[in-house]
C-alpha cells in the first residue's frame, strides 16, 4: 500500500493541479494570488503594565512562509492572536491587504500543538468544522477532498479518538485547509510529534503551502524546522524583531552546510542574551 505521504502527494496533484504543464503553471500563478499581505507598523501590545510587543515593525508579502522564533514568553503566540484578530493591538498599525485587522477574518485559520478534535465526532465531521457552512453534501465532498490531501481519506468514517498523534495533526491540518484560508497561522503545530512524523508533516505542510499559496506564519521553538520551511525567519526579542533573515536555500531543503549556516546564525543570536545577561551554567555551584 502507498504511504500516506505518497497518497497525499497524488491527491495534491489531482485536486490542485489537474493534468498537463500549462494547467499546472496557471494554477501555481493562481495559488500565489491567494495569500494575503500583512503589515505591522510600530505595533505594541501591553497587558496591564507589561509590554509584550514593543514598537514591532514587520512586513509580510502575500503567499510567503514566515517563521517566528524566540524565547519562551517573548510574545510569539500573542503576535499570532493579533494577526488572527483574536486580540487587539495597544498602539501602532496592523493591516492585512492594507486594511486594519478588526476582528476575526473568515479566511484565517489556526493550527495548534494540540489537534483539538472532538472525540465524539468522526474524522470527516471534525474536518467539516473548518467550513463555515457545514450542512450540505458539498461540505462533505470538500471535507473528504481535504482528507485526501493529508492522506487520511480512508479513515474518514472512524472516530477521531482512535487516531495516533500524527494522524490527529493531519486531520487538524485538513480542517485548517478545507475552507481555503488565505492566512494560516501555525502555533507550534508539530511540537508534540516524534522526529520522523515531524519531518513527514513538515514536508506535507510545505507542499500544501506551495500548491495552495496561502500566507503562512509558523511559531516554532525548533530552529531547524524554521530553516527547513520558512522564506524568512524572524526572531523576537524584547518585543522587537531582533533578527529578520531571508532563507535563500532551494526547496525542498536538505541539511547541508548552507542549512547549517542559517541554523548557526539564528541559534547564536537566540543564545546571546542569556549568556550576556546572566551567570553561565559553568559558574553555578550545583554542589548543595
Ligand atoms: N491575556 C493575557 N493577559 C495577561 N498576560 C498575557 C496574556 N496573554 C499573554 N500574556 C503574557 O504575555 C507574555 C507572552 O506570552 P506568549 O504566549 O505570547 O509567549 P510565547 O512567546 O508564545 O511563549 P511560549 O514560547 O512559552 O509559548 C507572557 O508573559 C504571558 O504571560
pLDDT of residue 273: 58
Q: Which atom of ligand 1 is nearest to the CA of 80?
A: 18
pLDDT at residue number 132: 72
The whole-number pLDDT of residue 123 equals: 95
| Closest Cα to atom 2 of ligand 1 | 47
Cβ of 88 closer than 6 Å to ligand 1, yes or no, is: no
Which cell numbers hold the place of 284?
553555578
Classify burial at 133, counting beta carbons within 10 Å of its beta carbon; exposed 0-12, middle 13-18, buried 19 or more.
exposed
Q: Is 103 in the pocket of ligand 1 (CB under 6 A)?
A: no
**Which CATH number characterizes residue 198's domain?**
3.40.50.300
Sign of the alpha-carbon dihedral angle for 58, 63, 255, 207: positive
Domain assignment present for 139: yes
Report CA torsion sign: 279, 281, 282, 287.
Answer: positive
In a domain, 280, yes or no: no
What is the mean pLDDT of the segment spanning 228-234?
98
Give dist(CA 203, CA 224) in Å, integer: 13
The C-alpha cell of 200 is what? 513527514
- Model-level pTM? 0.85
**Sequence-ordered list of residues with C-beta below 8 angstroms from that of 217, at least 6 positions apart, any chain:** 38, 60, 66, 67, 68, 80, 83, 183, 184, 185, 186
> In terms of pLDDT, which residue wins out, 261 or 276?
261
Asked if the interface predicted TM-score (ipTM) of this complex is over 0.95, the answer is: yes
Tell me what the mean pLDDT of segment 110-135 comes to: 87
> How far does residue 72's CA lie from ligand 1's centre (Å)?
8
Report pLDDT for 135.
62
| CA nearest to 243, candidates 215, 273, 285 | 273
Q: Residue 103's pLDDT is what?
A: 86
Q: Is residue 270 part of a domain?
A: yes
CA of 22 to the centre of ligand 1 (A): 47
CA of 48 to the centre of ligand 1 (A): 12
What is the DSSP code (8-state) at residue 187?
A: E
| 85 close to 261: Cβ distance less than 8 angstroms | no
- Would the CB of 47 count as within 6 Å of ligand 1? yes
CA of 191 to the centre of ligand 1 (A): 17
Report the C-alpha gap between 238 and 58 in whole angstroms.
15
The atom number, within ligand 1, closest to the CA of 81 reads: 18
Domain enclosing residue 161, as ranges: 4-274
DSSP structural state of residue 122 = B
Contact 53, 78 (CB under 8 A): yes
The reply to whether 285 falls in a domain is no
Predicted local distance difference test score (pLDDT) of residue 102: 85
Q: Atom 29 of ligand 1 has which residue's CA nearest to it?
A: 73
Expressed in angstroms and rounded, the spacing between residue 79 Cα and the centre of ligand 1 is 9
Cell numbers for 141:
465532498
Residue 230 CA from chain centroid, whole number: 10
Domain count of the fold of the chain: 1
- State pLDDT tens for residues 136-148: 788 889 999 999 9
Which residues of 72-174 form beta strands (DSSP E)? 91-96, 99-100, 108-112
- Asked if residue 283 belongs to a domain, the reply is no
Q: Is residue 202 part of a domain?
A: yes
Cα–Cα distance between 67 and 248 in angstroms, integer?
14
Nearest residue (by CA) to ligand 1, atom 3, is 47
Tell me if 211 is assigned to some domain.
yes
* Cβ atoms within 10 Å, residue 140: 17
Band of the pLDDT at 285, cuts 50, 70, 90?
A: very low
> Is residue 286 one of the residues assigned to a domain?
no
| Residue owning the nearest CA to atom 8 of ligand 1 | 78
Question: Residues 31-51: pLDDT tens digits?
Answer: 545 899 999 999 999 999 999
Please tell me the residue having the least CA distance from ligand 1 atom 23.
Answer: 73
Question: Which of the two residues, 77 and 132, has the higher pLDDT score?
Answer: 77
At residue 184, what are phi and psi to the nearest 5 degrees? -120, 125
Amino acid at each position: 500500500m502507498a504511504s500516506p505521504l505518497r497518497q497525499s502527494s497524488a491527491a495534491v496533484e489531482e485536486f490542485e493541479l489537474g493534468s498537463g504543464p500549462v494547467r499546472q503553471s496557471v494554477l501555481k500563478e493562481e495559488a500565489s494570488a491567494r495569500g494575503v499581505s500583512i503589515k505591522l507598523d510600530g505595533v505594541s501590545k501591553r497587558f496591564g503594565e507589561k509590554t509584550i510587543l514593543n514598537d514591532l515593525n514587520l512586513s509580510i508579502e502575500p503567499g510567503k512562509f514566515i517563521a517566528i522564533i524566540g524565547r519562551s514568553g517573548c510574545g510569539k503566540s500573542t503576535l499570532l492572536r493579533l494577526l488572527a484578530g483574536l486580540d487587539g493591538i495597544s498602539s501602532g498599525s496592523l493591516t492585512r491587504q492594507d486594511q486594519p485587522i478588526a476582528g476575526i477574518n473568515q479566511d484565517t485559520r489556526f493550527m495548534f500543538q494540540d489537534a483539538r478534535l472532538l472525540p465524539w465526532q468522526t474524522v470527516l465531521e471534525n474536518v467539516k468544522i473548518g467550513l463555515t457552512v457545514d450542512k450540505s453534501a458539498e461540505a462533505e465532498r470538500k471535507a473528504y477532498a481535504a482528507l485526501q490531501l493529508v492522506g487520511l481519506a480512508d479513515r474518514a468514517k472512524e472516530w477521531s479518538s482512535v487516531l495516533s498523534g500524527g494522524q490527529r495533526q493531519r486531520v487538524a491540518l485538513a480542517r485548517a485547509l478545507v475552507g481555503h484560508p488565505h492566512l494560516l497561522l501555525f502555533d507550534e503545530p508539530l511540537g508534540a510529534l516524534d522526529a520522523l512524523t515531524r519531518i513527514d508533516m513538515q514536508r506535507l505542510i510545505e507542499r500544501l503551502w506551495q500548491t495552495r499559496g496561502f500566507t503562512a506564519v509558523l511559531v516554532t521553538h525548533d530552529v531547524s524546522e524554521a530553516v527547513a520551511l520558512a522564506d524568512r525567519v524572524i526572531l523576537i526579542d524584547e518585543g522587537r524583531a531582533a533578527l529578520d533573515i531571508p532563507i535563500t536555500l532551494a526547496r525542498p531543503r536538505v541539511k547541508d552546510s548552507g542549512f547549517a549556516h542559517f541554523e548557526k546564525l539564528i541559534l547564536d543570536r537566540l543564545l546571546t542574551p542569556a549568556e550576556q545577561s546572566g551567570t553561565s551554567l559553568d559558574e553555578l555551584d550545583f554542589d548543595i
